[in-house]
Amino acid sequence: MRLLLVEDDSILGDAMQRVLQQTGYAVDWARNGKDADLALGDQIYDLVLLDLGLPQLDGFEVLRRLRTRQSNLPVLIVTARDSVDDRVKGLDLGADDYVLKPFDMPELLARIRAHIRRVQSLLTNIITYGPLVYDMSERLVMVDGKPMICPARELGILEAMLLKIGKIVSNEQLVEKLCSWDEALSSNAIEVYIHRLRKKLHPLGVNIITVRGLGYMLEKQSD
C-alpha cells in the first residue's frame, strides 16, 4: 500500500513517515501543497493524509483539485484546525475523515486501515490462485486455512503479481509499489525478495517466472 503524507511540520512529518513505514506502508512525503498537488496528478496512491495549513497551496485547495479530477482516493485531513466551519468545509469538499492534532498514532493507523478496507470492499476482496487465498482488505495470505508468514516487502511483491495474474509485472512497477520517494531499492534487492518468495511458493505448486528483460509473473506448476 502506498500513501501520500502531506505535512509541512518536519518533526511531525518525519515521525509519521517512520511509523507508517514500520507498519508496512510505502510513504511519499510532500512538504507543501504544490508538491502534493503535483504528486496526486502523477502518482497512484491508496490514501492521502492531508494537513490544511500548508505553504504554497493550502490543504483545502489540494483537496478541491483532487476531487475536480474525479478521484475517489480516500483523504484523511490531519490538522490542528478544530473549528466546526473548517470541519464542515473539509468534509463538503470530499474528505473522508477529519483527525485533530494532537492525535494518538494507533487511532490514526486504525482509521487508515478502515478507509482502505472501505475502498477495497467495493472491489473483489479475495484473490484465489492455486492454494493461495489472498485477503486484500486484511493483507493476509492463507494456505489451507493457515496464514503464510510474509514480511511487508515480500507481501507487496506477491500482491502486485496476484493483481496481475497472467501478466508480467516489471521491476520498475515493483520498486514503485514498495518504495517511497526518499527510499532506494535496487534491482538486486528485488531479486532477493523474489528469491525468498520463490522458496515459499514452490512447495505450494506456484512458481515465479522470470521473463528476461521484462519482469516477473506467477505460474501454477500444473499449468
The tens digit of pLDDT for each residue in 28-59 reads 999 999 999 999 988 889 899 999 999 999 99
64 vs 173: which has the higher pLDDT: 64
Percent of the chain with pLDDT over 90: 60
Among the listed residues 109, 136, 89, the one whose alpha carbon sits nearest the alpha carbon of residue 49:
109
Q: Provide the pLDDT for residue 70.
A: 86
Question: pLDDT band at residue 222, thresholds of 50, 70 and 90?
Answer: low
- Model confidence, pTM: 0.63
Are 113 and 38 in a shared domain? yes
8 Å CB contact between 31 and 7 = yes
Q: How far apart are CA 210 and CA 98, in angstroms?
A: 44
If one counts the domains in the chain, the total is 2
Are 70 and 105 in a shared domain? yes
8 Å CB contact between 53 and 79 = yes
Which pLDDT tens digit goes with each residue over 153-208?
899 899 989 988 888 999 888 887 777 666 666 778 889 999 999 999 999 999 99
Q: What is the CATH number of the domain that holds 175?
A: 1.10.10.10
Domain that residue 46 falls in: 2-121
User: Which of 104, 121, 138 marks a domain boundary?
Assistant: 121
Are 142 and 117 in a shared domain? no
Cell numbers given for 51: 494537513
Are 75 and 136 in a shared domain? no
Which range among 34-48, 107-121, 123-137 shows the weakest confidence by mean pLDDT?
Answer: 123-137
Which range among 35-44, 68-77, 119-128, 131-140 shows the weakest confidence by mean pLDDT?
Answer: 119-128
Are 145 and 45 in a shared domain? no
User: Which of 80, 99, 121 marks a domain boundary?
Assistant: 121
Are 27 and 82 in a shared domain? yes
Are 160 and 63 in a shared domain? no
Are 107 and 181 in a shared domain? no
Are 63 and 40 in a shared domain? yes
Average pLDDT, the chain: 90
Q: Provide the pLDDT for residue 174.
A: 87
